[in-house]
Amino acid sequence: MKQPPRFDELSSSYEELLRDPIRDRFTGQESIFFHRRKADLIRRFFRRRGLATAGLRYLDVGCGKGELLQLLQSDFRQSAGCDVSAGMMQEVSQIAGIETRVQKDSLQIPFGDAEFDLITAVCVFHHVPPSDRRTLTSEIKRVLRPGGFFCLIEHNPFNPVTRLIVSRTPVDADAILLRAAEARGLTAEAELAPLEQDYFLYFPQALYRYLGPMETLLSKVPLGGQYALFSGKHR
């Protein structure tokens, strides 16, 4: 059985360990800026398809402290999260309406087949050894219902600032970043249909207020701090 990483030991000081001068300048006074950007990307994905989410079930794999879950909870009928660390999930597990389960094996998702309409994995795969990533992607497909969507969000290794921050962040000591091409390959091997891919986090929070629309124009340029890959499970 795969053993959980050291995140239980880091959970009490996780936010402090994430601090970085460049990262802090990027977010300004709003540390939740990164999570809001991801929530907005997911909402826009559904809006473009004319799909209402109020009746859908949502799972965040590797949910950590559950920031994204809390931002999206009111959008979905059911919200759930799983993580290898019970300590990381301590706060979000106390929020009414969000179900959390511990992953006793980092490559097994503790939910049944075809339970969820949307599954996200945000900055999870770079903590998974490359040889195990195919297994985790297959697990995600198993838990996804036919016609459901998988959103994989990762750091962009083509962005030099992202690489610098990751290289000196203690919680990313084991990180092996994956290019968008590898992410597409993983979902293709799992027979998940490619739908959309966007790069984002070009501008810090202070500039994004004014230049947000420009990021839409840059979304296909592979230089943003992170990328989001959406794929779907065939009916």
pLDDT digits (tens, 9 = 90+) for 205-234: 989 989 999 999 999 999 999 999 999 999
In total, how many domains does the chain have? 1
The answer to whether the CB of 1 falls within 8 A of the CB of 108 is no
- Residue 72 inside a domain? The answer is yes
- Residue 135 inside a domain? The answer is yes
pLDDT digits (tens, 9 = 90+) for 145-173: 999 999 999 999 999 999 998 988 877 88
pLDDT of residue 49: 96
Q: Where are the beta strands (DSSP E) in the chain?
A: 57-61, 78-83, 98-102, 116-122, 144-155, 192-200, 226-233
Q: How many CA atoms lie within 13 A of 33 on its CB side?
A: 20
- Residue 1 inside a domain? The answer is no
- Residue 51 inside a domain? The answer is yes
* pLDDT, average across residues 86-91: 91
pLDDT of residue 31: 72
Element (H, E) at 7: helix 7-10
| pLDDT class of 30 with cuts at 50, 70, 90 | low
Q: Taking 70 as the threshold, does the pLDDT of residue 191 lie above it?
A: yes
- Residue 56 inside a domain? The answer is yes
Whole-prediction pTM value? Answer: 0.91
pLDDT of residue 14: 45
Say which CATH number the domain at 31 has. Answer: 3.40.50.150
- Residue 13 inside a domain? The answer is yes
The answer to whether the CB of 230 falls within 8 A of the CB of 196 is yes
Residue 182, helix vs strand vs coil: helix
The answer to whether the CB of 196 falls within 8 A of the CB of 153 is no
pLDDT of residue 78: 97
Print the domain residue range for 88: 7-233
The answer to whether the CB of 224 falls within 8 A of the CB of 73 is no
